[in-house]
């Protein structure tokens, strides 16, 4: 039987939430991944050392796995002092910037993306070598939000040439093209944006489980993302943006944004890279690129997959929490070996 081994997979953009949802979803990543970069958009967002360290403890308890490192991030504020950042820098991998109100729990994000408004915190981050992760969307027309953000990425990249910037969950050809223009720009791409376009979300019957921010774009965008991922473009990393919401918040009027992919990510990526005869590049895309960009040495964790059907569970549940994964009830062609 055909098999493939993934070595020390890293998910460089992950939402683990808190309480029962954390307990439900954390093991679904830590079982197979060697590490993950954890988003800070809790309620309230993580802005203090105390909140950060206690969240780290709760994650550690929930993952129940020694061969897994949770890399935490802080929620960007434009008034962090140099002293505060210097004190916290060894406890975080990066700081995540959300424009205010752009997505789930981002109301206290930054009101203005003007470089001068961001300068105090960015200057300290640049000096201290703390990477900046950005949710790059304006509040313009939904299909144009990411493309409209490109000049903002450029202004930050130019103003802070020593600052490592990660364009999170990119969804457009425009973002792929910008990657090579500035040495200090990098990006993550999700699994779902390599697979779907807006048609899959809203072209037929509305599929709330594929509704996310940024919204999936056009076929040409998907092609550009896929091309870069399949060749393991060295500035591009895998970041699932797996964002669990309970079923009743997805299958609802006023559907929450987020696609839950952690339990299927490795199987589907293997299937995708195999279909395109690019399996040789998968370990770079899912681990080596991130190791280089973030200077990480993950714990060795070999995960074997075999070409055998796997039917995705309809739902994952724990206590009163539940979440529906992408491809719920469908058959994948690769399975994890226990
Ligand atoms: O779809 C999304 N869900 N995009 C985000 O940026 C946030 C995430 C969430 O936290 O639910
Ligand atoms: Zn996210």
Q: What is the pLDDT of residues 117-157, one digit of tens each?
A: 999 999 999 999 999 999 999 999 999 999 999 999 999 99
Question: pLDDT value at position 64?
Answer: 84
Backbone angles phi, psi at 270, to 5 degrees: -60, -45
Q: Is-above-0.95 flag for pTM?
A: yes
Q: At what angle do helices 219-230 and 265-275 cross, to 10 degrees?
A: 90
pLDDT at 66 over 90: no
Residue 192: nearest ligand to its CA?
Answer: 1
Question: pLDDT value at position 181?
Answer: 98
Give tens-digit pLDDT for 261-318. Answer: 999 999 999 999 999 999 999 999 999 999 999 999 999 999 999 999 999 999 999 9
CATH architecture of the region 3-336: Alpha-Beta Barrel (3.20)
Q: List, in order, residues 6 or more apart from 97 with CB less than 8 Å away.
A: 76, 109, 110, 118, 132, 133, 134, 135
Q: Which two tokens stand for residue 87?
A: 């004190």
Helix, strand, or coil (residue 151):
helix
Question: pLDDT value at position 143?
Answer: 98
Q: Which two tokens stand for residue 3?
A: 């098999």
Question: pLDDT value at position 336?
Answer: 98
Mean pLDDT value of segment 32-54: 98
- Buried (b) or exposed (e) across 88-108, using 16+ Cβ within 10 A? bbeebbbbbbbbeebbbbbeb
Give tens-digit pLDDT for 236-248. Answer: 999 999 999 999 9
Cβ–Cβ under 8 Å, residues 319 and 22 = no
Question: pLDDT value at position 338?
Answer: 76
pLDDT at 326 over 90: yes
Percent of the chain past pLDDT 70, that is, above it, reads: 100
**Closest-lying ligand 1 atom to the alpha carbon of residue 169:** 6
Question: pLDDT value at position 28?
Answer: 98
**Closest-lying ligand 1 atom to the alpha carbon of residue 105:** 10
Task: Locate the domains of the chain by residue range.
Answer: 3-336
Cβ–Cβ under 8 Å, residues 86 and 92 = no
15 lines ligand 1 (CB under 6 A): yes
243 lines ligand 1 (CB under 6 A): yes
Cβ–Cβ under 8 Å, residues 163 and 212 = no
Ligand 1 centroid from CA 222, angstroms: 19
pLDDT at 18 over 90: yes
Q: Rounded distance, CA 222 to CA 242, Å? A: 18
Write out the catalytic residue numbers.
241
Instruction: Count Cα atoms within 13 angstroms, Cβ side, for 204.
Output: 3
3-state secondary structure 52-70: HHHHHHHHHHHHCCCCCEE
Mean pLDDT value of segment 209-220: 98
Backbone angles phi, psi at 214, to 5 degrees: -65, 150
104 lines ligand 1 (CB under 6 A): yes
Backbone angles phi, psi at 90, to 5 degrees: -80, -10
């Amino acid at each position: 039987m055909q098999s493939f081994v993934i070595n020390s997979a890293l998910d460089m953009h992950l939402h683990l939430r808190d309480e029962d949802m954390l307990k439900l979803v954390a093991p679904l990543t830590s079982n197979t991944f060697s590490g993950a970069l954890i988003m800070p958009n809790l309620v309230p967002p993580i802005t203090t050392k105390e909140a950060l360290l206690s969240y780290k403890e709760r994650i550690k308890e929930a993952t129940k796995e020694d061969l897994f490192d949770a890399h935490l991030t802080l929620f960007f504020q434009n008034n962090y002092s140099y002293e505060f950042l210097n004190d916290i820098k060894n406890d975080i991998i990066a700081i995540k910037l959300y424009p205010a109100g752009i997505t789930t729990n981002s109301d206290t994000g930054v009101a203005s993306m003007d470089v001068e408004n961001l300068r105090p915190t960015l200057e300290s981050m640049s000096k201290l070598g703390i990477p900046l992760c950005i949710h790059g969307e304006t509040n313009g027309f939904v299909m144009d939000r990411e493309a409209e953000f490109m000049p903002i990425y450029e202004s930050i990249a130019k103003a802070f040439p020593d600052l490592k910037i990660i364009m999170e969950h990119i969804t457009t050809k425009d973002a792929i093209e910008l990657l090579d223009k500035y040495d200090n720009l990098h990006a993550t791409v999700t699994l779902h944006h390599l697979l779907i376009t807006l048609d899959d979300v809203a072209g037929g019957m509305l599929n709330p489980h594929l509704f996310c921010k940024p919204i999936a774009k056009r076929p040409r965008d998907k092609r550009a993302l896929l091309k870069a991922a399949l060749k393991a473009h060295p500035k591009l990393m895998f970041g699932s943006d797996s964002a669990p919401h309970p079923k009743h918040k997805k299958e609802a009027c006023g559907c929450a944004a987020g696609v839950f992919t952690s339990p299927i990510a490795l199987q589907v990526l293997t299937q995708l890279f195999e279909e395109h005869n690019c399996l040789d590049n998968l370990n770079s895309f899912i681990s080596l690129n991130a190791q280089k960009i973030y200077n990480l040495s993950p714990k060795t964790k070999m995960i074997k997959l075999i070409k055998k059907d796997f039917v995705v569970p309809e739902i994952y549940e724990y206590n009163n929490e539940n979440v529906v994964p992408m491809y719920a009830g469908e058959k994948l062609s690769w399975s994890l070996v226990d």
